Structure 1
Amino acid sequence: MTSAEGRRRAAVLGSPIGHSLSPDLHRAAYAELGLRDWSYERFDVDEAALPGFFEGLDPTWAGLSLTMPLKRAVIPLLDGISDTAASVGTVNTVVFSEDGRRTGDNTDIPGMVAALRERGVEKAESAAVLGAGATASSALAALAEICTGPVTAYVRSAARADEMRGWGERLGVDVRTADWAMAAEAFRAPLVIATTPAGTTDALADDVPATPGTLFDVLYEPWPTRLASRWAEAGGPVVGGLDLLVHQAVLQVELMTGCVEAPLAAMRAAGEAALGGRGPDARA
């Protein structure tokens, strides 16, 4: 694909945003695709500032990537959202059409599915989810596509348990909940998705079984997590946060630029370089 006509802009918004690898990934894609007139920036924008940011956008803007705390706050500012985004009430991608229409999408969900399939996980008879935040709901939506049995969510409160069961009902997933104190039992499942903040699962690392299934730890920094390291040492397949970040960014690039296939390998290499060579491959 050759350079687009005229300047085109995209960016990632969130607060805080300085840690985001999205500029590295998207710029690598533009370079590989020959999109010399495209730029991708990062802006620290919170919920209160988001409407004003939208008001200041001109026709050169092609799209936005969104991180916390904006994934739900952006929805009232849009003209519509995709079925995927609607399924979890969360938008991480906004695409601007030539007529000015603003459409929200969610590439986290198909990105999770793609990251798992890249590591050979096509189906799972059951699964466990550690955590109950926005990423956990996206994990449930991904599991709706690949998990044929129950999903157990390990949470810290009755309110969170209710939320996860509610998401399960909406997504058609058989969600069962258990107290976080029993989280080590999650490791009996053939697929475990850890969606918690850095350090939360460190205390569980010593409970990894001798023959674990597959771990999907959505963190990418610091990496590897203590849990991912122990899992890999036990011989279990590990999918990391950079895997997810790259696959969801590939879909964002395709949506924003209209290209048929974004350069996965170049984007992954850019992400690994930005992390100082500490890529997500705890399997090595």
Structure 2
Amino acid sequence: MEAVNAIEVNHLTKKFNNKIAVDDISFNVKKGEVFGLLGPNGAGKTTTLRMMTTLMKANNGSVKIFGHDSVKEGRLARSMFGLTGQYASVDEDISARENLMIFSRLNGLSRLDSKKRTQELLSEFSLINSADKPLKDFSGGMRRRLDLAVSLITRPALIFLDEPTTGLDPRTRTQMWDTIRKLVEQGSTILLTTQYLDEADQLADRIAVIDHGKLIKIGTPEELKKQIGGTKLEFTVERNSQIDDAMKLLTNNVGEPIHHAGEQLSTTLKSVDQLAPLLVTLKQSKISISNLTVKEPSLDDVFMKLTVGKN
């Protein structure tokens, strides 16, 4: 029997007046993976997520959560996921403990079970020491952790994270990444929207790049990097008199355009396997080089290439 996907999105479309915000998007999310929706501000990421989580009605298309239609079986579909937004959806004047107790009760847990689950989540999200402080005294990172804790009260199999680290300092972002990785280890499936390329690279098994409401590319971070072209090679030629020879040698051995800025030469290798023979040839030709750097393409390169000129 074929495994059911955690999410199936088919031809999802959303218009606001005459403007198409999400334009005929389709993709599947497998059980147990972190799936990233990556795109600039206003690309349609959050609108897509809001339709997937039944907070917004689509003009066209369908979403299935673990095989259940999110419109026809809305209540059942909603019971299978947790949703965390950019801002803690909790009361400012009461404590983290009280907030978690309230949401636990709203989710149908008994008073005793609510107390137990609250304590577990405070511990899991390193909020024990601040458990009885009012939320207005919380930092952005603490609020974000509490918001995530609230979405996990019922231990959902699927978690939607809408830009979970926006505005956080680097240390708190890293803590959130560790928390997300732990959830995946425990068997959760995660759909993550982000505008941070390093976040998608660090966390996502697969990424869908969205721009102007359209799905441009989908694949693993490695696949996307490979699609835009190979490894960047840079080095300095130590003697001015050897620059022309070095350029000819690169042209003959690499076959890609050579960029020349003073003594520094750079080019793109189709494969990293080209590097060793190239270094041997330079040595045999007695061309002295220094400051050698070999750099794989980054998600920044992918993103720029896929979205540049479209704005």
User: Is this a same-fold pair by TM over 0.5?
Assistant: no
Larger % of strand: which? Answer: 2
Q: Tell me the TM-score normalised to structure 2 length.
A: 0.27
Q: Tell me the TM-score normalised to structure 1 length.
A: 0.29
Greater length-normalized contact order (CA 8 Å, ≥ 6 residues apart): 2
